[in-house]
Structure 1
Amino acid sequence: MTRSESGDADATAEYAIVLDVLRHGRQGDNRRFDAEPIAYALGESNFRLLELTLVEDADVSIGDSVVVSPTADRNVVESVVEVSYGDLSNTATAEVEYVVSDIIDADEQRFVDFYNDAQPITLRLHQLNLLPGIGKKLRDKILEERKRRGPFESFEDLEERVSGLHHPKDVIAERIMDELQDNDVKYKTFVRIDG
């Protein structure tokens, strides 16, 4: 359950969804039973992959939303380190796609607005072309439809108004997964890396 679904809202805090909890630390850690508990998580607003050091006896499970911003009250998180996709545990890797889908569902308008607000990046490349399966013809259909009839209101509205655009939510989710898995993606549209 994401923070927005649960109704908890501190507008200034940054939240992440827990992908996996390792109560005895990383598997390769020689201090296995003395190691601090950690969790892997995905940032709700920026899709950053994080390793969280948890407080002892933290009551945290997969799918929980936790505060990760340094300026907010982090009652279960001691420290936060950004990690890459390859650093995740097998369980965390298996959970990422589901959590990405949940985040998109919880804030659909934010992702529909990507289709509404996308602009050219260069003379030859448009932000819409970064999405899997969207070439020049489909991009032009999206742009023409939003110009002719105004902004899209939902993924369903997008699919109904733009012939050839099937499952616009899945297209966004696939792009987010591409950005998470490949550090060499030139244009990071959804995943924000600090630093």
Structure 2
Amino acid sequence: MLLELVETEKMEQPEQEQRKSREENAIVLDFLPNGYPFESRQGQVSTPIVQALGKEHLILLELVPKKEIKLQPNEEVYIGEGKRDQIHHINGKLLPDKLTSTAKAELEFVITELVKKNEQRFLEFFNKAQPLSTRMHSIELIPGMGKKRMWEILDERKGKPFESFADFKKRVKLLPDPEKAIIKRVLEEITTEQKHYLFVQR
């Protein structure tokens, strides 16, 4: 039955352009005015570091601010190709195990705010999620949503798309809170290695 679903949804799904991995804006997780303590050497001038999360692709990034710039956690900064007021350059992607304790504490809060402020973007996952194979559907990767609940979601969205998380909870009974489940999955994708990535571009 899932094989039929794979073939049907493949035909229904329009061709999509390749996603660009470049981030335009990022949310500050931590600002280290003196850089990393474990990397500083006597006699060397330390470089300030910003640990941040890209808003679009949810990529962990290491940034270098411009001189005299001071930033706060949860502050949004522009990192696109245009004129940057606060960020001098991007060092590159940041490994999860390099996050400071402050950044780790801020991460869940920042993700929660992003999901709440972009409800339609994350709700679209439930409206358009596709099978990963003949045996596994991407909905099953969301914490608390197994095969039985996956079929309930697919049956409900056939009638009409979910309009909000509240609408989702009203129409699909006895399921985990979809918003909290999405937040948990995003956190897992950012902080641990996954076979499949639904929301984070690595």
Question: The TM-score by the shorter chain falls in which range?
Answer: 0.7 to 0.9
Identity rate of aligned residues, in percent?
A: 36
Distance 2:39 2:95 in 1: 18
Residue of structure 2 equivalent to 1:91: 102
TM-score (norm 2): 0.84
Contact 1:158/1:165, CA 8 A, preserved across alignment? no
- Quick check: 1:127 aligned with 2:138? yes
Where do 5+ consecutive residues of structure 2 fail to align? Answer: 1-21
Residue 34 of structure 1 and its aligned partner are, at CA, apart by 2.3
User: Aligned letter for 2:196?
Assistant: Y
Cα RMSD, aligned residues only: 1.6
Greater C-alpha radius of gyration? 2
- Quick check: 1:75 aligned with 2:49? no
Query: In structure 2, which of residues 143, 147, 153 is the aligned counterpart of residue 136 of structure 1?
Result: 147
For residue 39 of structure 2, give the secondary structure of its aligned residue in structure 1.
Answer: coil
Q: Spell out structure 1 runs of 4+ moving beyond 4 A.
A: none
- Quick check: 1:20 aligned with 2:30? yes
Distance 2:176 2:170 in 1: 9
Count of aligned pairs between the two proteins: 179
Query: In structure 2, which of residues 154, 177, 199 is the aligned counterpart of residue 190 of structure 1?
Result: 199
Residue 147 of structure 1 and its aligned partner are, at CA, apart by 0.6
Residue 60 of structure 1 and its aligned partner are, at CA, apart by 1.7
Residue 59 of structure 1 and its aligned partner are, at CA, apart by 3.5
Residue 68 of structure 1 and its aligned partner are, at CA, apart by 1.7
Query: In structure 2, which of residues 152, 161, 169 is the aligned counterpart of residue 151 of structure 1?
Result: 161
Deviations 1:150-192 (A, max 9, x none): 0001111101110122310010011111111112x00011110
Distance 2:83 2:71 in 1: 16
Identify if the C-alpha distance between structure 1 residues 125 and 13 changes in structure 2 by more than 3 Å, giving closer, same or farther. Answer: closer
Contact 2:23/2:57, CA 8 A, preserved across alignment? no
Residue of structure 1 equivalent to 2:5: none
Deviations 1:97-134 (A, max 9, x none): 00000110111100011110101111111110110111
For residue 37 of structure 2, give the secondary structure of its aligned residue in structure 1.
Answer: coil
Residue of structure 2 equivalent to 1:64: 75
Residue 62 of structure 1 and its aligned partner are, at CA, apart by 0.8
